[in-house]
Amino acid sequence: MITFIVRRLIATVFLLIVVSIIVYAIFFLLPRLAGQNTYQLATQYVGRNPTRSAVLAIEDKLGLNAPVYLQYGRFLKAIVFGTHYNSGTSTTYCPPPCFGYSFKTQQPVWPQMVSDIPVTLSLAIGAAIIWLVGGVAIGVLSALRRGTFFDRFSMGVALLGVSLPIFFTGLILLELFSYKWPIFPNVQFVTLTQNPYLWARNLVLPWICLAFLYAALYARLTRAGMLETMSEDYIRTARAKGLRERKVIFKHGLRAALTPIVTIFGMDLGLLLGGAIITEYTFSLHGLGLFTIEAVQNQDLPEILGVTMQAAFFIVVANLVVDILYAVVDPRVRT
C-alpha cells in the first residue's frame, strides 16, 4: 500500500509539472505562435490605455524578451521560491507561491486567492457531504425497493434535480426562503472560527442548491450500481451462506457499487474546490468562482493564470485521493 501511494505521489508531481507547462504555453507561447511580439504581450499586463513607457517597463520587469523556456523556468522558480521584480528604481519581492501581480490591485495574486479559499472550501465540503450521503442513501433505498412508489418518486425528483440549472434553483430558494419567508434572510459568508452557527446558517441555501444537482446524479448512479451488484452470483452465495441481509447489502453490495461513485466524487469535489462559479455568483459569495469571473472581466492575466493553476492543483490532488481510495475499496488496483 505504501509503495502504491509513493508511486501515485511521484506521478502527481509530474502531472502538475505537465499541467503548468500547458497553462504557461497557453498564455505565453500560443500568442507568440499567433504572431504577437513581446511588446504586444507586455501590453496585456499593463491594463487599459497603456503608455509606451509603461509597456516597455513591464516588458523589462517581467523579462518577456527572454526565451520562453527561460521564462517558464523563472515561473516555476517563483512558485516554489518566490521572485524579485526589478522596476528600475526599486525591487519588489513576490513571496512563494508567486503568480505575479494583479493588474487591477497591483497586489500579489496568491494572497488574494487565499482570502477567497475559505468561502469555496466551506461551500464545496458542506455541499459534498450532503449530496454524497443523501444521494447514496436514496440510491440504495431505491434499488432495494425497486418498482415501489418510493423508487418512482425519488427517481423522478432525481431527474428534476439533474434537469434544473443551479442558477434557477438558487433563485427559487432565495425567493422562497430568504425574501418571502425570511428563514435565511442574510446569505453572507461568516468564517467558521468567528461564529459557527452563522457560518452554517448562511450557507444552508447554497449547500442545498449545489447538493440538489449532484445528489440527484449520485442517486441515479448508486441505484443502477446496486441493481447490477445485487444480481451478481457472489451476492447469492453470501445469502446462501446465511449472512444477515444488512451485511450482504453494505459489506458486499454497496462496497462494490461505490467504485464508480468514488471516481466521480473525487472529480466533482476537485472541480468545486477550483471554484463553484455559478453558485457563488448566484448567492454573491466571493470565493474562487467569483474571483475567476472578475479576473476574466478585468482581463487580469496574472489572476487568471493563478486561479487556473490552483484549480488544476485541486483536480490533480483529487485524482490522487481517488486512486488511494480505490486501493482501499478494491485491493486489485494495488498491483
Q: Contact 300/103 with Cβ under 8 angstroms?
A: yes
Q: Tell me how far apart the alpha carbons of residues 119 and 96 are, in angstroms, rounded to a whole number.
A: 22
- pLDDT given for residue 225 in this prediction: 85
- Over the chain (335 residues), the average pLDDT of each successive run of 10 is 77 84 82 76 72 79 78 86 72 80 78 88 90 89 87 86 85 88 83 87 90 87 85 80 80 77 82 82 88 84 84 83 72 54
> Which H, E and C letters describe the chain, residue by residue?
CHHHHHHHHHHHHHHHHHHHHHHHHHHHHHHHHCCCCHHHHHHCCCCCCCCHHHHHHHHHHCCCCCCHHHHHHHHHHHHHHCEEEECCCCEEEECCCCCCECCCCCCEHHHHHHHHHHHHHHHHHHHHHHHHHHHHHHHHHHHHCCCCHHHHHHHHHHHHHHHCCHHHHHHHHHHHHHHHCCCCCCCCCCCCCCCHHHHHHHHHHHHHHHHHHHHHHHHHHHHHHHHHHCCCHHHHHHHHCCCCHHHHHHHHHHHHHHHHHHHHHHHHHHHHHCCCHHHHHHCCCCCHHHHHHHHHHCCCHHHHHHHHHHHHHHHHHHHHHHHHHHHHHCHHHHC
- pLDDT given for residue 207 in this prediction: 92
Neighbours of 306 (CB within 10 A): 25
What sign does the CA torsion over 188, 189, 193, 196 have? Answer: positive
pTM over 0.85: no
- pLDDT given for residue 330 in this prediction: 60
Q: Contact 38/45 with Cβ under 8 angstroms?
A: no
Phi-psi region of 47 (alpha: psi -120 to 50; beta: other; left: phi over 0): left
- pLDDT given for residue 334 in this prediction: 54
What are residue 94's phi and psi, to 5 degrees?
Answer: -110, 110
Residues 6+ positions from 28 with CB-CB distance below 8 Å: 41, 68, 71, 72
Cα 10 to chain centroid, rounded: 22
